[in-house]
Structure 1
Amino acid sequence: MSGSWAGGRFGERGECLLAPNPGIMTLDGTNTWVLREPGSSTAVVVDPGPVEDGHLERLDEETGDVGLVLLTHHHLDHSEVAATFAARKGCAVRALDPAHCVGADPLADDEVLSVGGLSLRVVATPGHTADSVSFLLPTERVLLSGDMVLGRGTTVVAHPDGRLGPYFDSIERMRSLATAGEVATIWPAHGPVHDDAGAVLDHYLAHRRDRLAQVAAAVERLRDEGATPTPRAVVEVVYADVDEILWGAAELSVRAQLEYLAERAS
């Protein structure tokens, strides 16, 4: 997908309030998802986002009663206002990492959450970060993917917290949900929704495997040339056709890929 993205309403239970923090890593901004069962006055808010240009105030005004705040992971563009927002709404914050929970226990894999008649299932999906989780909204056949799947492009494996082995396992798990018919659509934390979950997950797997093969080839080439295959040197080979402004993020993924290759060679 390409073009601008402004959020809006999706399905019978979802509304995306786009945070005003566009950037290279955040695309159009952070998608704050407001979920509410039809007829219910109580919402669940996923990734309330950053402190940016009145986003907290907008959330406070537009969300009404909130029964729970959820975090897909700890990065500030998702979590920065969580505690303040939850205090205003008089509710708890839950995340996989207990350090980011407020007034509640950490999330557990496969846990079913019920708030105001809305049912969500927790799906642990480490890879982008160690604490990344997704949320399955079964009545909509939707997976809220956090940063594991983006609306445009592909995500960063944010080494050392993010690791490639868990990333592959998580994408395979998400793909199995699509294959089983439990997930048809992906609502990401950045960029537009994906209406064909299976296709985008297949693309993610193929892309990362291709990159891994390119990294392995770059390491061999650098060694053959008598150079040290440092992460930066590998980036300069593999990402030579990518804007250098993205090389810093690419290096995180390359570090994760080098670690993955080293583990399998030992």
Structure 2
Amino acid sequence: MASPFDPADLPTGMAIALSPLVHRVLAPNPSPFTYTGTQTYIVGEEAVAVIDPGPDDADHLAALTAAIGDRPVVAILCTHTHRDHSPAARPLSARTGAPVTGCAPLTLDDDGPRADAAFDADYRPDRVLSDGEQVEGPGWTLEAVATPGHTSNHLCFALRQEKALFSGDHVMGWSTSVISPPDGDMTAYMRSMQRLLERDDVIYYPAHGDPVDNPQRLVRGMMGHRKQREGQILRFLERHGESAIPDMVAEMYKGIDPRLFPAAGRSVLAHLIDLDGRGLAAPAEGGLWRTA
């Protein structure tokens, strides 16, 4: 999680070329959780795919429509169904006739603190992609890479022609991903990170933040960060005995925006659930936790 930022003068609504096959359009939804906003990617030249169409915002939809122009849209792809990612799929499909494709639908009452990231209960894909399935257009191929963790239905999309990965919220250059139970799963997240570490992608295009070059180095660093956090939690419990999550957050997340404390608490909970599953920590009465 990162510190507050000034979103002034950011290029929302503009189609910015990142490579011969990839353009980015930034949605006007900056926040402490979305950073500068959700980034929608347009892939292809003659006919295109749209990845993470973003929020159902009139200005953003107009910007996407202008960036697509008269080119046919092969598919509208969603990495996951948090509502800063998928709601624009429906109106964009209505405008372009393109099928909504990608992650499975997921409706869940998330008891986490992120109102901006509630699930899009209206998401109804025309086609759900399983791991390894592909969508193709002239000069490009996108392959689904299952990466559960941030959400259970999270997919990344690999662009074979450029060894690029659209990493959604699973890996972002500006911040670590929030893992918020009950759907967010730290055990699944770490397995997915290991899977990405073993791939040969040369660049990541995240849904929030700048492109990530040398992505394996970042993935290794993020995995190391999670292991360090796990160690902090265990040492805290060893020192203090039965403890509450807010007390852990207050010590371990000094210096971050206090508005992010509730989300930090969700990540601590995700770590504790993972530690419980491995026999290293256990829940105690009154919402407290202890070492096992």
Return the TM-score normalized by structure 1: 0.89
Indicate yes or no: 2:237 matched with 1:237: no
CA contact (8 A) 1:21 1:52 kept: no
CA contact (8 A) 1:157 1:253 kept: yes
Which shows bigger deviation, 124-133 or 56-65?
56-65
Partner of 1:136: 158
Deviations 1:54-108 (A, max 9, x none): 1112112221321100001010000121111111110111132145343x22110
Distance in 2, matches of 1:118 and 1:184, equals 16
Deviations 1:125-148 (A, max 9, x none): 011111111011111110110001
CA contact (8 A) 1:133 1:146 kept: yes
Q: 1:91 to 1:53 in 2, by over 3 A?
A: closer
CA contact (8 A) 1:68 1:115 kept: no
Q: 1:28 to 1:76 in 2, by over 3 A?
A: same
What residue identity is the alignment partner of 1:21? N
Return the TM-score normalized by structure 2: 0.82
Residue aligned with 1:78, SS: coil
Aligned pairs (5 A) from 1:1-266 = 6=11, 8-36=16-44, 38=45, 40=46, 42-52=47-57, 54-64=59-69, 65-98=72-105, 100-102=123-125, 104-177=126-199, 182-223=200-241, 228-265=242-279
Deviations 1:143-202 (A, max 9, x none): 11000111212111122211011100111111100xxxx301010000000111111111
CA contact (8 A) 1:45 1:70 kept: yes
Deviation at 1:53, TM superposition (A): 5.7
CA contact (8 A) 2:31 2:37 kept: yes
CA contact (8 A) 2:105 2:153 kept: no
What residue identity is the alignment partner of 2:202? A
Residue aligned with 1:237, SS: helix
Distance in 2, matches of 1:57 and 1:109, equals 32
Which shows bigger deviation, 199-208 or 231-240?
231-240
Q: Work out the number of aligned pairs and report it.
A: 254
What residue identity is the alignment partner of 1:139? Q
CA contact (8 A) 2:164 2:202 kept: yes
Q: Which runs of 5+ in 2 are unaligned?
A: 107-122, 281-292
CA contact (8 A) 1:218 1:238 kept: no
Distance in 2, matches of 1:79 and 1:146, equals 11
CA contact (8 A) 1:98 1:105 kept: no
Q: Which has the higher helix share?
A: 1
Distance in 1, matches of 2:201 and 2:6, equals 25
Distance in 1, matches of 2:6 and 2:203, equals 19
Distance in 1, matches of 2:57 and 2:278, equals 42
Deviation at 1:230, TM superposition (A): 2.3
CA contact (8 A) 2:99 2:127 kept: no
Q: Which runs of 5+ in 1 are unaligned?
A: none
Structure 1 segments, 4+ long, off by >4 Å, are 2-7
Residue aligned with 1:70, SS: strand
What residue identity is the alignment partner of 1:28? T
Deviations 1:13-51 (A, max 9, x none): 000100011110101110100000x4x2x1100000013
Residue aligned with 1:129, SS: coil
Residue aligned with 1:59, SS: helix
Residue aligned with 1:33, SS: strand
What residue identity is the alignment partner of 1:93? V
Deviation at 1:52, TM superposition (A): 3.5
